[in-house]
Structure 1
Amino acid sequence: MIKSIRSKQIILIGAIVLLVAFLFTRDIKGLVKPKEEPTAGVPAGGQMPSEAPSINLDEVSTTGKNLLNASLAAEITSLENTFKSASENKKVPAAKLLAQKWDDLEQAVPSALYLEIVATKEPNLNNWLLTGEKFLKAFDNTRDSLLQPVLLQKANSAYTNAVAADSTSADAKTGLGITIVNGMGAPMQGIAMLMDVVKKDPKNLKANMSLGTFAIKSGQFDKAITRFNSIIAIKPSPDAYFYLATAYENLGKNDEAIDAYLESKKLAANATLSKFIDERVTALKTKK
């Protein structure tokens, strides 16, 4: 019986991973339990290797430009040439322009690398937060097992620098906690950091969302339900309802799951999500 329930959970979570990877905002991570399906490149214990491969900006740029039309690729090349030839006091504005351009094109990796250049040259809380956030977004988006460790390490480094700049910053602590739980250290250390943020700021959505998704990934569905209900009470969102529905479904609370799925569908107003949710709702209704 237990084995059957566990198998059902694995299948359900696998389906959600595919949906989340394709559909939701970049802040949402997949829902694979680490012990069931460890991320490629991450040891079984969940910690990233201490030595991750480096990222070559020129190679990343070339790869990114190959995905663009000729006009946009030429525009990027022109901006890059301006950056490379700029005097030292003009490097930062040129790097900021490239970071924004890559971000506009939904390419987080090169954007993050240019933000890192900005933060290195002008180290302050805001610049390190922007850098960490972009590297974390890139980590969330990529399915490249060789790229994931270095993106997470860079996010961790950026948030570490942000905490050093302001040890009271909730954003810095939240970002650092997320990187630690994802593999940059002992998971409980990261959880403790996030819990400390929530203790001081109960309405901190990012920290609460991270704790909720980590609860789901570790199979603590009751805790996830409590967490996501709290998030929804603060600010309803399609991803919060979606995760809430996932937790309910894994506990066999089908009526509650259906209600949460439908709220997610209504708020997201996305055709792909609507199709997926309609299929889930139909499946759940047949189990009644």
Structure 2
Amino acid sequence: MALLPKVIINKDKKGEFAANGAPASAGESSHDPNHEGHEDHAAEAAAPAAAHVEATPAQLKEIAELRTKFSRESNSQAKGKLADELAQKYAAIAKHDSAGFYYEQVAQVRPGEKSFQKAADQYFEAFTFAATQERSQELGGKAQGLYEQVLKNNPSNLDAKNNLAMTYISSSTPMRGITLLREVIAADPKNEKALFNLGVLSIQSNQYEKAVDRFNELLAVNPNHVEGTFYMGVALAETGKKADAQKAFLKVKQISKDPEVQASVDSYLQRLNGAQ
């Protein structure tokens, strides 16, 4: 379903997973820059969030040439520049784990909040689409370690704290993630990402009334938040407020013309109409 959250507690649909494992340090990497997997990544179909992204022969050639230069370069500054180029190329074809690896190399040369976050964000994207629990553990750990570095540089970086929280939500220490989300809300009561995440987590724990409250807060900040409106409909339907749920779903159809979103909404509307 197009509107399913990327990070949830139980692994039972593509894009949903549990992430465990201790944070990796920003200076460590289990990713070999010369491993042929990087070339494989460039040729594979893109992750669900970028299903229509395909690497062209020209892109594959450019990546291969850059990787050769990277492996041969001995100057750290020049190597960092090549790593930055490679990261951008991999991100463009939705190969986020490889992009994360190369941005991590940049951060080792030029450490700082922004460089750590670039690497962390790419690992986080890869983490959200991990196909196996083992892979999600590895990628979640990489993202955690790098986000911790971001927050050491800037404790008030709420975007990093939001994403870090979601890596912990599905781990063996989910309350650490909940605590981080609450810290974000305390610092910024109108933070859309935190409100949305807390709303979805309430749905996942069958606390539908609490979910409605969270999505009401979110939609007061952004009335046209597509995912928030969709999940408001889900929460309302679960509390038996079918008429209000239908209104929410119909609003989603108005504010998003994405075919997959439309199909998801139609499916819910059919279920609601069938239940009447």
Does 1:63 pair with 2:40? yes
CA-based RMSD of the aligned residues comes to 2.8
1:61 partner amino acid: H
**Larger displacement relative to structure 2 (202-211 or 64-73):** 64-73
Q: For the Cα contact (< 8 Å) 2:76–2:109, is it kept in 1?
A: no
Q: For the Cα contact (< 8 Å) 2:147–2:164, is it kept in 1?
A: yes
Q: Deviations over 1:67-105 (max 9, x none)?
A: 234332112101212222332111222111111111111
Match of 2:103 in 1: 115
Q: TM-score, normalised by structure 2?
A: 0.83
Please give the alpha-carbon distance, in whole angstroms, between the structure 2 residues aligned to 1:150 and 1:164.
22
Does 1:214 pair with 2:186? no
Could you list the runs of 5+ residues in structure 1 that have no partner in the other structure? 1-18
Does 1:77 pair with 2:64? yes
Does 1:274 pair with 2:251? no
Match of 1:188 in 2: 175
Change (3 A) 1:89 1:71: same
Match of 2:47 in 1: none
Q: Report deviation, 1:140.
A: 1.0
Correspondent of 1:168 among 146, 152, 156:
156
User: 4+ runs of 1 displaced by more than 3 Å?
Assistant: 36-40, 49-57
Q: For the Cα contact (< 8 Å) 1:129–1:171, is it kept in 2?
A: no
Q: For the Cα contact (< 8 Å) 1:95–1:115, is it kept in 2?
A: yes
Q: Report deviation, 1:62.
A: 2.4
Match of 2:86 in 1: 98
Change (3 A) 1:209 1:119: farther
- When the two structures are aligned, how many residues end up with a matched partner? 259
Change (3 A) 1:39 1:107: closer
Please give the alpha-carbon distance, in whole angstroms, between the structure 2 residues aligned to 1:78 and 1:155.
28
Change (3 A) 1:146 1:62: farther
Does 1:227 pair with 2:214? yes
**Larger displacement relative to structure 2 (110-119 or 250-259):** 250-259
2:207 partner amino acid: Q
Larger relative contact order (CA 8 Å, sep ≥ 6):
2
Please give the alpha-carbon distance, in whole angstroms, between the structure 2 residues aligned to 1:284 and 1:200.
38
2:63 partner amino acid: I
Change (3 A) 1:83 1:266: farther
Please give the alpha-carbon distance, in whole angstroms, between the structure 2 residues aligned to 1:275 and 1:178.
27
2:255 partner amino acid: L
Q: TM-score, normalised by structure 1?
A: 0.80
Q: For the Cα contact (< 8 Å) 2:185–2:194, is it kept in 1?
A: yes
Higher helix proportion: 1
Q: For the Cα contact (< 8 Å) 1:205–1:231, is it kept in 2?
A: yes
Q: For the Cα contact (< 8 Å) 2:96–2:122, is it kept in 1?
A: yes
Match of 1:14 in 2: none
Q: Report deviation, 1:143.
A: 2.1
Change (3 A) 1:223 1:56: farther
